[in-house]
Amino acid sequence: MKCTDREYSEDIPKRNEQYSVKKHIAVLLCMVSVAACLLSGCGGLDYGMAYDSDSDISSFNVISRQDTRTAASFASGLCVVNDNVVDDENVDMSQAEAALLLSLNDRQVIYSKNAHEVLYPASLTKVMTALVALRYGRLDQMLTATSAVNITEAGATLCGLKAGDTMTMDQALRILLVYSANDVANLIAEGVAGSVDRFVEMMNEEARRLGATNTNFANPHGLTDPNHYTTAYDLYLIFNEAIKFETFNEIIQMTGYQTTYYDADGKAKEFNKSTTNQFLKGNYQPPSNVNIIGGKTGTTNAAGCCLVLLSRDVSGNPYISVILRAASGADLYTAMTDLLDEIHK
């Protein structure tokens, strides 16, 4: 058959139509593949989406829009807090700036007040200090104090370390979390990273890895610094990671700690202190349906009174609760009791 110009010209639309169909099929297949990748998490790849409520690509904003696929992949296993949840008038948070109660198993936000407000964390900082130490240090590592342990801020809780004193990482972590000794935080920092400054960098790197993007650390102990801040939600992210470590869980349950460490001349020095957690000391009682496992306290003039807790209900389901900047210790524990009373209401 002779190929005339007319026959060729008539064949162009057919070929274009066939090409167009094939092109659309290819595009559709590509889109399906991309969607499947997003939904499955692409074999565990980390897209690093920040938990920043002000970011257009944060999980908060993405989840509030129509396409929740990417956010669902990123936030898998985590609670995501968008807005305040303060419906119950029986919870009196008038004396606290921020509060959060989250159910870990079903990722339910039970209560939330100012969860993303930037505030001082005080010694709740030491949760991150312990997390970095547990991730990168060794429990049997011997630590030797330098002049970095000389903290002179009035009212700061101290173990009383002097240059040349030695103890193991395990001892240091227990003193850090049970008694909240600020000098021990610096001891741990130097032992893990070689310097306090490098350890602080590691703390901030860990915060970013966890998505705690409204957090910045300036020291490992939590004494007030204008560049040292976090949020109730970021503390949840950090604490939620820390409780994955068996040693951390063991320590936060302790009602006190007694040990012996040594000075530069090998002379024994005794340590014997009770926990700073008033629930564990029995000075305040949680609701009858709640068992407090443990947590971390923090108090400075700038931060107010702060507390993060791991608790379980009668069925063993876990919860994390956070209160920041309560007006007093009594206000802190009264408000936390009210908050925990929301479990299974």
Name the residues annotated as catalytic: 123, 126, 180
CB 309 within 8 A of CB 324: no
Terminal Cα-to-Cα distance of the chain (whole angstroms): 84
* DSSP H/E element including 260: strand 256-262
- Could you give the count of Cα atoms lying within 13 Å of 92 in the half-sphere of its Cβ? 9
Measured distance CA(107)–CA(240) in Å, rounded: 12
Rg (CA), the chain: 26
Measured distance CA(280)–CA(228) in Å, rounded: 28
Cβ-based neighbours of 41, under 8 Å, separated by 6 or more = 73, 76
* DSSP H/E element including 261: strand 256-262
Measured distance CA(55)–CA(58) in Å, rounded: 5
Q: Give the closest residue to 182 by CA, choosing from 225, 130, 221.
A: 221
Q: Give the closest residue to 339 by CA, choosing from 281, 275, 284, 299.
A: 284
- Extract the tokens encoding 7: 């026959």
